[in-house]
A and B are shown apart, each in its own frame.
Chain A
Amino acid sequence: MRNAAVVGIGQTHHVSKRLDLNMAGMVREAAQRALADAQLTFNDIDAVVIGSAPDLFEGVALPEQWLAGALGAYGKPILRIHTMGSVGGCTAISAFYHVASGVFDKVLTVAFEKQSEAQTTWVFSAGSGGRSFSSGAGGAFAPVARFYIDRWKVPLEMGPRVAVKDRGNAMRNPYAHWKKGAVTLEDVMNSPMLWDPFRYLESCPTSDGAAAMVFAAEDIAPKIHRKPVWVKSAVAMTESLTMSMGMKALPPAAVACAKRAYADAGITNPRKELQMAEIYTPFSWIEFILYEGLGFCDEGQGWRLLEEGVTEFGGSFPVDPSGGVISTNPIGASGMLRMLEAALQVRGDAEGGHQVPDVRQALGHAYGGTINYHAVMIFSDTKP
């Protein structure tokens, strides 16, 4: 294994519907932005790794076959990754290993979703655990949140406060889908209940968007970008589909994934050695379960991190300064957006005022399925 770094970052401006671009045009837009950031062209790329949600989400079978030409993969290897919502994270991880393995020097990776073209939340439950019940995504995750609330006797406004934090953060991120302004706790509490305890404003939107990154080998990365962002950890873990975590409100795969990622990065105290994190919170209460799963605090204490303001934008350990998945959810891309935003923070290039000061190391996390797939990357301004 050799080191590899992020040398190119690009994303679309995420919106409800990109009628102006087909799927190929949308992934191209993100890819061309990442290549421009790296001052590279499609010709410079050795391999492409692409990730998206299930074919059924958008109704296009084998999209990678269609999109290969749009991403300059003619005559080159292209590999598609698919792990539900975590796919963007796993795709970035795969691209990293393409380079770290020594096989490829410069790899383009792209993840995307056009939610406007389909009925994704219902497809989710057609192809997943709730196949016989059509729960929708919120219906699948809500019982986990309910279990967490009951187990730890958490004040009921804490979930809504995640929405206040994230939708407020989104107003500083020019790429975020949510544009309607910061919301108050009252706004969130008064929004319609969808899947108790998730209200409308506590639930992710359906977005069209794509994310792209370029990874390069350690000897060439510094020649490509003035500030390569080094990868210290790239770990994916899985558990069973059947929500065994529901009995503990702590996803074992997240715990294992984070543990391995910290060991690889030599991190013993994440909240001291990392300056921020981008994690995958599509519905409010999931945030606290992930704080605990990712080792930001002890079990049962996740909600207190937000109550004490630790994870607010101005706090000592901001989480999801981009606005997170609650504000922007092109599902296939959402996991890569977490990685890409963490890398941008390390580079100091988060636009529009959502840059956290003095980020030297940051964590990106994505989950998928019924919180059973997890992916973690740790980025650093220093070569390992």
Chain B
Amino acid sequence: MADNTELVQRQVEIEFPYQSATGAAVSRFLTALRDDKRIWGLKCPRCQRVVVPAQDYCDVCAEDMSEWVEVGQEGEIVTWTVVRNENTLYPHKTPFAYALIRLDGADTSLLHTVVARDYAAIKGGSRVRAVWKDERTGHIRDIGHFAPVGEEA
């Protein structure tokens, strides 16, 4: 290739709208967040785990699930990362934490965010509690975030 070839970079923007069916179990889970500020799981008839968020089948046993179990608004942090960099895609201004949270009565961990006064104080087993949005639409982020117990207000 000649040295003076101008190398051209193509600019592409791809943007499409999507509407994803959530199915019966997730729909019921989401409407309960919206209408009642309650968090429900489904219990697997084989392995007996309570799966939160609710879904139609057990990921481990592949069994259909139909036994609804309400779980707590509080739980413990299983693991987490504190986000220090900025990105418009993030749900909160930084710093905040992404965390896997095992709610009381659940056997699985829910992925959500934690907003805290002191991130250095977060550790495995830290107790957190759901902080609800006032305007809820039937979305997992109707729970605005989780906060360390005692910092919910």
Contacts and interface: CB of A to CB of B under 8 A. Distances in A.
B94 interface: no
A64 B23 CA distance: 17
A56 B62 contact: no
Interface string A54-74: 001011100000001111101
A383 interface: no
Contact of A69 (B17, B19, B60): B60
A22 B16 contact: no
A129 B48 CA distance: 50
A165 interface: no
B30 to A, nearest CB: 12
Contacts, number: 73
A26 to B, nearest CB: 8
Interface size class of A (residues with CB under 8 A): 20 to 34
Contacts of A19: 21
A123 B60 CA distance: 33
A14 to B, nearest CB: 15
B18 interface: yes
Contacts of A56: 14, 16
Interface in A18-44: 18-25, 28, 42
Among B14, B16, B17, B55, chain A packs the most CB atoms within 10 A around the CB of B16
A21 B59 CA distance: 16
B20 A58 contact: yes
A20 B62 contact: no
Contact of B18 (A17, A59, A69): A59
B16 A123 contact: yes
Interface size class of B (residues with CB under 8 A): 20 to 34
A25 B23 contact: yes
Contacts of A74: 59-62
Interface stretch (A114-122, A240-248, A300-308, A367-375): A114-122
- Secondary structure dominating the interface of B: loop
Contact of B57 (A18, A28, A123): A28
A256 interface: no
B120 interface: no
A122 B58 CA distance: 35
A114 B14 contact: no
Contact of A119 (B17, B26, B60, B61): B17
B107 interface: no
Contact of B55 (A20, A24, A119): A24
B1 interface: no
Contacts of A42: 62
A24 B18 contact: no
Given A69-B57, A70-B62, A74-B59, A22 B21 contact: yes
Given A59-B18, A69-B59, A70-B62, 14 more contacts: A21-B24, A23-B20, A23-B21, A24-B55, A25-B24, A25-B57, A56-B16, A69-B62, A116-B19, A117-B18, A117-B21, A123-B16, A126-B16, A132-B10
Interface of A: 17-25, 28, 42, 56, 58-60, 68-72, 74, 114, 116-119, 122-123, 126, 131-132
14 contacts: A22-B20, A22-B56, A23-B20, A24-B57, A25-B57, A28-B56, A59-B18, A70-B57, A71-B62, A72-B62, A74-B59, A74-B61, A117-B21, A119-B17
